[in-house]
Amino acid sequence: MRNTPKHLAIAGATGAVGIEILKCLEQRDFPVSELTLLASARSAGKTMTFRGKEVVVKELRPDSFAGVDIALFSAGGAISKAFAPYAVAAGAVVVDNSSAFRMDEGVPLVVPEINPEDAKKHSGIIANPNCTTIITLMALNPMHEAFGGVHSLIASSYQAVSGSGAQGILELETQVTAIAKGETIPERSVYSRQIAFNVIPQVDVFTENGYTKEELKMLFEGRKILHAPELKASVTCVRVPVYRSHAVSVTAVFNDKPSVEAARAAINAAPGVHVIDAPFAEFPEYPTPLDSTDGDDCLVGRIREDLVLDNALTFWVVGDQVRKGAALNAVQIAELL
């Protein structure tokens, strides 16, 4: 029955995405009858606050899902592969934030504003897409629908260090502090190069064709979410010294001729995304990562006709990758259920 309170479990509750999931559940007044917080053995016994009450974190175990209706997983692919089957066997529907099941043919890959109907086709597991894919497609999909479908895209992402977890933020902070004090930069543990005052054109490991796994996710996940199996994409993912929110520069080629005015109208008419684009104002307006941090919406600007490719627009989109790129999208999928 619609809005019937659910018994929710969060696997990986003490991580950055788990904490953000709790915030989203509370802010969106999700109907929760019971909340089970799960994490590793070292986090068991900690307490977290939800709706003014303390909830004790329990160790994630195979028998943790008795009576659970929806299990939100944000503990990494290995944990999802190991424990999601136990949750499904116990009768729960799993919404998984990792890459473990995204490309499985029988697992829907869902962005609720784009392909909500796919969530109904689950067999116990629904996958949350990659954060950069979500942010890009939130801007692209309204134009995909308005201009006869997207044919191909070229994109470069500018990804915040929080995409590497709390250790990414700590490494950036430590390096900036050391440089400001004139001290020796501590040994790196997260990134292959210094991240402070630098950009690193590698997010994830390289594959045989020279692209990283992160770059190929936008191609393969984009095809699945948009139901566009012929979509072509060439993507470069870059880590930048920004704490939170990813930005993506995109050039998209459409089957029909697009226009800037129609693109702005289509984006502003779509849920969860809107345009900030006034290049000729006294102080030009366009979105930056700080504008989207802690926000639900993705923000689009710099929309213009491409000067090289026919039927193409170039645009800039930013979004909070911890929120819409992970936690919020998972909670929205739970709302669909």
Active-site residue set: 131, 246
Residues contacting 155, CB < 8 A, separation 6+: 136, 218, 233, 234, 235, 236, 248, 249, 250, 251
Gap between the terminal Cα atoms of the chain: 10
Those residues whose C-beta lies under 8 Å from the C-beta of residue 201, and which sit 6 or more positions away, are: 236, 237, 238
Single-letter residue type at 157: S
Reading the block at residue 239, the tokens are 């880590």
Where helices occur in the chain by DSSP H, the ranges are 16-27, 77-89, 131-146, 166-180, 213-226, 260-269, 289-292, 328-336
- 24 touches 334 (CB < 8 A): no
Distance between CA 226 and CA 114 in Å, rounded?
Answer: 8
Tokens 């129609």: give the residue. Answer: 262
Q: Which residues contact 228 (CB under 8 A, 6 or more apart)?
A: 144, 149, 150, 222
